[in-house]
Amino acid sequence: MFTLSQFPLPYAYGALAPYMSPETLELHHGKHLATYIKNLNDLIENTPYESVELYEIIKSSAADKQNPNAQKIYNNAAQIFNHDFFFKGMCNDCNGQIPSEIANAFGSADEFKKQFKNAATSLFGSGYTWLVRDGEDLKIINMQNADTPIAYNMVPLLNLDVWEHAYYVDYQNRRADFIDNYLEHLVDWGQVAENLKQ
Ligand code: MN
């Protein structure tokens, strides 16, 4: 059994305003994430997944061809991980320095932001734009829907949720403005630097 209290926001609902409103965070954390948790609990009840760590549920369900519910289990488990990672990767205008390893990998901090924005803007439909370490390389990748890099042995460093529920209350159809504010004001680069040590 997973509970929302295992995945707390590290700040108050109002902490990311005006770039992300309390209404958005309350819906996104208190309703969307809570629903993925409830769905996963319902799906894994009385199955071998019931007493397994979230990370292992994601890895196992991604490879599970026997269980007809495996895709649903994967989607909901991955969404719990993806959201917790997203929420814990933000703060309000703190830690503004992009780690030099990232700037160097992409040419400059501005070039990284440009490439990340291009990817996030071009993601068709629902999903996430990720910065990952894949082997030795840092890569910006788009993944559709709930898909998550930890299922592919990539190390997640940063993710931006571009499902409409992540921004529609605050930005309506203006996804590009959401991405700009995210990159300029919301990324916790100190957390990204910690993730780079993994
Ligand atoms: Mn979301």
pLDDT in tens, 87-124: 999 999 997 799 999 999 999 999 999 999 999 999 99
Compute the distance from residue 31 Cα to the ligand 1 centre, in Å: 10
Cβ burial of 63 (10 Å; 0-12, 13-18, 19+) is exposed
Distance in Å, CA 163 to ligand 1 centroid = 6
156-179 confidence digits (pLDDT tens): 999 999 999 999 999 999 999 999
Residue 66 Cα to ligand 1 middle (Å) = 28
User: 145: alpha, beta or left, given left = phi > 0 and alpha = psi -120 to 50?
Assistant: left
107 Cα: distance to centroid of ligand 1 (angstroms): 30
* Spacing, Cα 89 to ligand 1 middle (Å): 13
Instruction: Please state, in angstroms and rounded to a whole number, the distance separating the CA atoms of residues 140 and 138.
Output: 7
Distance CA 50, CA 101 (A): 39
User: What fold characterizes domain 100-196?
Assistant: minor pseudopilin epsh fold (3.55.40)
**Fold of the 21-88 domain:** Helix Hairpins (1.10.287)
Is the full-model pTM beyond 0.75? Answer: yes
In the chain, domain spans = 21-88, 100-196
Q: Where are the alpha helices (DSSP H) in 47-174?
A: 54-63, 70-88, 100-106, 109-122, 168-171
CA–centroid distance, 129 to ligand 1, in Å, is: 12
Q: What is the maximum alpha-carbon separation in the chain? A: 50
